[in-house]
Structure 1
Amino acid sequence: MTVDNTGYSRLGDPGLLHRIDQLFACNVGDYIDLPQLVVVGDQSSGKSSVLEGLTKLPFPRQSGLCTRFATQITFRRAATKMIVVSIIPHARASPEHANKMKGWAIEVQKLDAKTFEKIMEEVHEVMELSDHQTESPNLRRTFSNDVLRLEIAGPDEDHMSVIDVPGIFKNTTPGKTTKHDIDMVREMVLGYMQNPRSVMLTVVPANVDIATQEIVEMARELDPDYDRTLGVLTKPDLVDKGAENDIVDIIGGKGPGSRVQWSVVRNPGQQELQSQNTDRHSEASFFRDVRPWNTLDKDRVGIVALRTRLQEVHTCHTRREFPKVKSEIGKRLKVSREALRTLGAERDTPEKQSRFLLDIVKRFQDLVSLALTTNYGADDLFDEHLELRIATEIVRRNTIFSEQMEKLGQEYWFNSKDELGKESIPGSGLALLSPPEEGEETARKSSANDQFNVRISSDPAELDDILYDQEAIPAPSSNIHKWLEATYTNSCGFELGTFDPNLLSTIMKRQTTKWTSLALGYVSDTVAIVHTFILTAMPSLCADERVRTNLLSNIMDDLIERYRMALEQVSFLLQVERVGTPMTQNHYFNDSLQKCRQKRMQAALETMVVKDICTHGTVVRLEDIVHHNPMSNTRHTVQDIHDILESYYKVARKRFVDNVCMQATDYHLITGPNTPLKLLSPAYILDLADHQLEDIAGEDPGLKRKRKQLKKEIDELEKGRKILL
């Protein structure tokens, strides 16, 4: 027989159902719960017969073809008549199984009992279900989580989505069902009932104790207010004599479960089913002529009344749920768009891959520019990640380096009277000590045991092999004159009243011993600051972890090479300052030397000052100067060496600090033409070969599938949103 739904297809408000039809047609139901009807009950409760009465579809009744999977029956209006049968694989299906299920579909012009039976046999075979007759149940499954979909379209159809699920059961049948089957079916049925937009047709035989039925309890737990539950009693003709009035009371709202809207139907018997002209005339006669069933309200008996009541519940529920559906579509659409945005632009060709990477490096360079100009207010990232404030970090480290060099760089304190007092280096916790006064040697020895770290930043894991290790250095020692005298005595030649010029190189090298640790420690910290900036910025600029990892991996060797150049520049400057010939054209050297000598002379003359009763200032008698205690040549030379070393050391130290900061850090790491910050540039991306672009930015198959699915989802949700406007 062909499908004839005349008089059976209008299950609710035409306007609402038309919009449901449109939502289902654009697959919105794949993403959010849409109003639908689900028929549930125990095995042999008669639910398939109820479904047949509602849909007029000739469901097969062979024992081997009973409901062993969910069947979704969808009616929708279309210009031409069409019946399509397909299988929807379950969500956890393997790719092979899913492809097999998706690959099976047939289209028929009519769906009579014979055709339907043949289709069901083929579906069982495709799903690899056991027939319990020709093979052991251990070889194939009895039930499947896949869904059989019947899509019936035609000009006279209104949308109705009905789900028929396997009946739940408690006892196993040897050779047919197992405990696993019991749990599997219950979980499947529960999954459909949990949809808050499912109207549950709870089918229960009238000849059993309704209060003990598991399906009734499941419906009560999921729908305690019974807003979406409609009870259907079947097999009234099998109720024991004397028990009919109890069923009548339940239907009339007087017995157990009276809050449920109960209806009663009489399904065709076996003899009637064998007739080629099965209809519902015998049911109408039963409720008209047989007591006490003919005393029930007419709107509670028969399949036609059930359809009317179902229409009321379904329409009311659909109208109530539509605002929620609209809201959920909007929320899901927003989430899907954001998910697609995080994937970035599509990258299936070298050109698209190049554009994708160019966008990343452009935004990276924009961020670098903002960071170096301290325009931190232009991007919230600077507030979220303080490590990105690279200019501030570098300036702070420069200051610490300069003060470390000033206070810790010399091996021995100079005997000057103008050194700074005790203070601290900002951000380092380092107490800086001035040279000891005469007579303070004991205290100086105690302070000299202090140790100070040359590094203040932790090393990124990738750079452990190239950065200078943490090292603690002591404060400068005292007694510089003893050291200078010993050095001079052990290296003097035939000079008269002077010293070998090479001696200055020797003592300068010893006095600057700590420069190596301080300078390499400083530049290692600035390298760490730059590298941390890159690592911190990338996740915010490229959400795709695979691309980010590949891109960083591809540039890592070049980054390390540029970091090495900065460290090598420090080594070069150390070689020039500590091993090369002492040299300067800075007039500050002469000025400083003259000041040292003048201060030494002033200190000597201060012991000869006499009181002047007049107001002529400080007075020294000339004869006292003449009779001043003479100084040995060695002591005089040592003092001269000290003054020259101090004057030159100050010039060299300031020059060295400036050169290291400007050349190693600023030029090689920050603003030069080949800094690590400029490695990720458009030029770098444009030089990549096609295979490199594919390796870095090519989409893996999983990402391609995800992008395709998100595009499909957004398109279909957008259509659904427009339907509900």
Structure 2
Amino acid sequence: MAHEPGAVGLSTGSLDALQNEEMRKVMDVVDNLRRTGLGAILQLPQLVVCGDQSSGKSSVLEAITEIPFPRKENLCTRFATEIILRRARVETVSIRIIPDKLRPAGEVDALQSYKWTINDFTELPDLMDEVTDLMGFGKADQANLRAFSRDVLSIEIEGPHRPQLTLVDLPGLIHSENKQQSKDDVEIVRSLVEDYIGNQRTIILAVVSAKNDYANQIILKKARDVDDKGRRTLGIITKPDFLKAGSENERSWVELAQNKDIEFELGWHMLKNRAEEELSFSLEERDKSETTFFNKGRYRDLDRDGLGIAPLRKRLSQLLYTHLKRELPHLQQELNEKLKATTKELKGLGQSRSTPREIRRYLMQLGQDFQKIAQSAVDGHYEDKYFGPVLSNEPVDHANNTQRLRAVVQYSNLQFARQMRLYGAKFRIIDRRDNTTSPPEAENSDEEDETDTPSAATSAAEAENSGKENEKESPSNQAYDEVKSLQSTKTREQAIAWVHEILQRSRGRELPGNFNPMLISQIFWQQSEPWKALASTHVDRIAKYCAVFIETLLPHLGSPEVSQQIKIYKVKPALERRCKRAHAELANIIDDKQRHPITYNHYYTTTIQKLRNKKNAETMEKLTKKLGREIYTKTNNLVHHVDTTALIRNVADGALELDMDKFSAQEALDCGTSYYKDERKYFINVVTKQVIERCLISGLADDVISSVDFGEMTDEQVCALAAEPKTIMQDRLRLETRHATLEAGQEAFRSALGTFW
């Protein structure tokens, strides 16, 4: 509740000297960071009062802050109490509970809803009773339901003369379990203290009581475990008035205060808290009693800066200021790193999808982005950053290159065409007469085919790899190994014999020396048997490239779980449908291939004539070698002379083939070879155009994933497809809250730059 200035009945003039102006500016930075809630993300600098049970921690905190805490021992020490002192125009005291993050969500929400304001610190004891009841301890006159809690009581005090300071009083460390404190309680307190003092930005105020041997007080070991150099630990000795004046025990405690036994870089400080008979003393009376005590006995020999509450306040102020000056740059760096990591993590969740409208908008945007990039890939335009750099160290059709879909398809089509020329024929026919590949592999009807023609002396492996740098590793070529292994070799004589067998089994009413037109069909059908396997393999290969392309693109556009859903319910059925259509189209083409031969391409007759001319040229070459002789001219030049009359007579006689079936087989082989070559060109074109391009590539950007389809879905359908899981929603809320807090922290640092740095 709001109240008038000065309503809180507490003087804080003695604290006003804690910080000069520069100190206050430094404190303002941390205070602003704490106001943003950054303490839940980063370890912020603070002072922590800790010690064993009954070591006088609460009295130390009371003396430092001048806040009169309730004297009931079973209250404050059962949970952490955070004291936040802030400057403001109006005096206010606000109290709230910071629930343990491991509590159930309902309990967390309930405890966070409680907030109080008080007008006077005399109201604090009653409020503490209410707080402990809410935390689950039960009321003072009831049996305790629990002994300790990880909940934090936060007391925020604002006023025009308040310093910027945060201190935390922790439950006292328990030596051993008993009837009131279980083994779990011992562990809870130990873990709680270790969490606080383990913060490398915490100044540890380790309180030890002179009533007990300091060697047996747990806090000293805990402090040295987390701060072995003692750089951020200040030892505070309480209750020295219980020591017998002049005793050996008193001397050992004085030496401890002089940093002669357990050494801390920050040293030690000694306080005298109010004795039992002094509980009614005001804070001013308490300070006066303390000063009187330290002005006698061995304490007169101690450094005045290490005795009493007033020097301690100044000492803590300077320690905290120096500590903050050192830690703030590291704190800012850590904040920036966490903001960067949180931004990346939040971006990884993608666009929010908590309502049907958000989900539909998300899906439609995903569809538009997909269509744009997919169409660019189909068209071969690779300007979008998605396509990345060119990977020249791998084959073109490697899986890592599939985002450049058009390039991969074009390369694979060329590989298919080449494989068809090399391995499309069932029989590879070798002509021994001139050591060259004879029909159907002669490929000499045009210049283009001749480049793929291996000689008899060229191994199949050399023919396969000639001029192809990446062919060995290329998936396109690896896929044809099975078909390649099925190809066998025949000499021309063996091929003629093979055709002769077909001729005898296909003979009709044709005259001797002629052949049944169906013989061409039989030769072609057998020679083209591998086509179906080669084409089917090629179709499956391109279909796989399309699938890999989409599977790679989807995670780039949307979250993993949505990509998986779209893949299952949209992409997979669409690709299966397109692949099925491609194989159906290929089946029709294969069926057409099995029909009676039809061609209107003049290359068919041209090829036949070239084969016959080649045959005649071979005959002429043999005769000229046989009939020719070498003579010297009058100028003593060597020339080759041929008797033309004898040559003509031998040509006429030698060209006759008396075996009519063999003659028909030779003619049929040449005609079958010519028709095979003509059909092979057609088959390559029709497979790449009608099957690959029409059925698999064309329309890929619109048919598989369409923003229009997403727009026409019902709310139930879009939610089923891309609704954000509850865990993702929770993660998003957590990250958005974290991100906002970190950004507010950055702004706090930026605001401080002009006044401090």
Aligned residue number for residue 643 of structure 1? 670
Distance 1:685 1:403, change over 3 A: same
What are structure 1's unaligned runs of at least 5 residues?
424-431, 448-452, 459-466
The separation in 1 between residues aligned to 2:146 and 2:588, in whole angstroms, is 77
1:624 Cα deviation (Å)? 2.9
1:108 Cα deviation (Å)? 3.1
Secondary structure of residue in 2 paired with 1:292: helix
2:641 is aligned with 1:624? no
CA contact (8 A) 1:414 1:646 kept: no
The separation in 1 between residues aligned to 2:328 and 2:705, in whole angstroms, is 51
For residues 475-498 of structure 1, the C-alpha deviation after alignment (integer angstroms, 9 at most, x for no partner) is 234232222222221221222143
Range that drifts further, 686-695 or 630-639: 686-695
Aligned residue number for residue 715 of structure 2? 690
Q: What is the one-letter code of the residue matched to 2:628?
A: K
Aligned residue number for residue 463 of structure 1? none
Range that drifts further, 311-320 or 640-649: 311-320
Secondary structure of residue in 2 paired with 1:202: strand
2:409 is aligned with 1:394? yes
Distance 1:434 1:19, change over 3 A: closer
CA contact (8 A) 1:38 1:192 kept: yes
CA contact (8 A) 2:374 2:700 kept: no
After TM superposition, the score normalised by the length of structure 1 is 0.85
Range that drifts further, 631-640 or 599-608: 599-608
Secondary structure of residue in 1 paired with 2:78: coil
For residues 432-473 of structure 1, the C-alpha deviation after alignment (integer angstroms, 9 at most, x for no partner) is 995869xx9xx99xx9xxxxx999749xxxxxxxx9997774
CA contact (8 A) 1:21 1:158 kept: no
Counterpart pick for 1:95 among 88, 102, 105: 105
Aligned residue number for residue 686 of structure 2? 659
2:628 is aligned with 1:611? yes
CA contact (8 A) 1:411 1:511 kept: yes
1:592 Cα deviation (Å)? 0.5
1:576 Cα deviation (Å)? 1.5
CA contact (8 A) 2:562 2:722 kept: yes
2:178 is aligned with 1:162? no
Aligned residue number for residue 547 of structure 2? 531
Distance 1:455 1:320, change over 3 A: closer
Aligned residue number for residue 426 of structure 1? none
1:64 Cα deviation (Å)? 3.3
1:407 Cα deviation (Å)? 1.9
1:30 Cα deviation (Å)? 2.2
Identity %, equivalent residues:
28
Q: What is the one-letter code of the residue matched to 1:707?
A: R
The separation in 1 between residues aligned to 2:121 and 2:210, in whole angstroms, is 31
The separation in 1 between residues aligned to 2:736 and 2:89, in whole angstroms, is 28
1:204 Cα deviation (Å)? 0.7
Aligned residue number for residue 261 of structure 1? 267
Aligned residue number for residue 462 of structure 1? none
2:560 is aligned with 1:545? yes
What are structure 2's unaligned runs of at least 5 residues?
1-6, 392-399, 444-451, 464-470, 632-638
After TM superposition, the score normalised by the length of structure 2 is 0.82
The separation in 2 between residues aligned to 1:528 and 1:258, in whole angstroms, is 69
2:300 is aligned with 1:283? no
2:371 is aligned with 1:353? no
Aligned residue number for residue 127 of structure 2? 119
Range that drifts further, 338-347 or 617-626: 617-626
Distance 1:256 1:382, change over 3 A: closer
The separation in 1 between residues aligned to 2:287 and 2:161, in whole angstroms, is 24
For residues 648-684 of structure 1, the C-alpha deviation after alignment (integer angstroms, 9 at most, x for no partner) is 00011111112112222223223x2x22676334444
Aligned residue number for residue 712 of structure 1? 737
CA contact (8 A) 2:92 2:117 kept: yes
Q: What is the one-letter code of the residue matched to 1:381?
A: G
2:221 is aligned with 1:214? no
For residues 208-233 of structure 1, the C-alpha deviation after alignment (integer angstroms, 9 at most, x for no partner) is 33345332233234334433222211
The separation in 1 between residues aligned to 2:642 and 2:694, in whole angstroms, is 54
For residues 166-207 of structure 1, the C-alpha deviation after alignment (integer angstroms, 9 at most, x for no partner) is 11122111x222333323322211111121221111101123
Aligned residue number for residue 230 of structure 1? 234
The separation in 1 between residues aligned to 2:63 and 2:318, in whole angstroms, is 18
Aligned residue number for residue 517 of structure 2? 501
Range that drifts further, 275-284 or 530-539: 275-284
Distance 1:507 1:399, change over 3 A: same
Aligned residue number for residue 148 of structure 1? 153
Aligned residue number for residue 461 of structure 1? none
1:602 Cα deviation (Å)? 3.6
Range that drifts further, 603-612 or 407-416: 603-612
Secondary structure of residue in 2 paired with 1:232: strand
The separation in 2 between residues aligned to 1:329 and 1:256, in whole angstroms, is 35
The separation in 2 between residues aligned to 1:246 and 1:261, in whole angstroms, is 15
Distance 1:386 1:625, change over 3 A: closer
Distance 1:681 1:301, change over 3 A: same
Note the 1:354-503 alignment, pairs <5 A.
354-368=360-374, 371-372=377-378, 379=385, 381-383=388-390, 385-414=400-429, 419=437, 457=475, 473-478=485-490, 479-497=494-512, 498-503=514-519
The separation in 2 between residues aligned to 1:654 and 1:345, in whole angstroms, is 51
Q: What is the one-letter code of the residue matched to 1:611?
A: G
1:42 Cα deviation (Å)? 0.8
The separation in 2 between residues aligned to 1:250 and 1:30, in whole angstroms, is 36
Aligned residue number for residue 46 of structure 1? 56
Secondary structure of residue in 2 paired with 1:170: coil
Q: What is the one-letter code of the residue matched to 1:153?
A: E
Note the 1:560-575 alignment, pairs <5 A.
560-575=576-591
Secondary structure of residue in 2 paired with 1:413: strand
For residues 480-534 of structure 1, the C-alpha deviation after alignment (integer angstroms, 9 at most, x for no partner) is 2222222221221222143333333333222211111111111111111221122
Distance 1:196 1:383, change over 3 A: farther
Counterpart pick for 1:598 among 613, 617, 623: 613
Distance 1:207 1:277, change over 3 A: closer
Aligned residue number for residue 196 of structure 1? 200
Aligned residue number for residue 314 of structure 1? 320
The separation in 2 between residues aligned to 1:492 and 1:275, in whole angstroms, is 132
Aligned residue number for residue 104 of structure 1? 114
The separation in 2 between residues aligned to 1:480 and 1:93, in whole angstroms, is 87
1:73 Cα deviation (Å)? 1.7
Counterpart pick for 1:16 among 21, 26, 30: 26
CA contact (8 A) 1:454 1:517 kept: no
Q: What is the one-letter code of the residue matched to 1:571?
A: A
1:301 Cα deviation (Å)? 2.2
The separation in 1 between residues aligned to 2:595 and 2:643, in whole angstroms, is 45
Q: What is the one-letter code of the residue matched to 1:70?
A: A
The separation in 1 between residues aligned to 2:239 and 2:158, in whole angstroms, is 32
The separation in 2 between residues aligned to 1:684 and 1:256, in whole angstroms, is 75
The separation in 1 between residues aligned to 2:401 and 2:533, in whole angstroms, is 27
Aligned residue number for residue 3 of structure 2? none
Q: What is the one-letter code of the residue matched to 2:159?
A: G
The separation in 1 between residues aligned to 2:281 and 2:66, in whole angstroms, is 15
Aligned residue number for residue 347 of structure 2? 341
The separation in 2 between residues aligned to 1:158 and 1:581, in whole angstroms, is 103
Distance 1:472 1:381, change over 3 A: same
The separation in 2 between residues aligned to 1:391 and 1:339, in whole angstroms, is 33
The separation in 1 between residues aligned to 2:11 and 2:686, in whole angstroms, is 92
For residues 212-259 of structure 1, the C-alpha deviation after alignment (integer angstroms, 9 at most, x for no partner) is 533223323433443322221100111134132332333334444264
CA contact (8 A) 1:211 1:257 kept: no
Secondary structure of residue in 1 paired with 2:47: strand
The separation in 2 between residues aligned to 1:704 and 1:218, in whole angstroms, is 40
Q: What is the one-letter code of the residue matched to 1:511?
A: Q
Aligned residue number for residue 328 of structure 1? 334
The separation in 2 between residues aligned to 1:419 and 1:476, in whole angstroms, is 13
The separation in 2 between residues aligned to 1:185 and 1:473, in whole angstroms, is 76
Q: What is the one-letter code of the residue matched to 1:680?
A: I
Aligned residue number for residue 536 of structure 2? 520
1:156 Cα deviation (Å)? 3.6
1:630 Cα deviation (Å)? 3.7
Distance 1:484 1:618, change over 3 A: farther
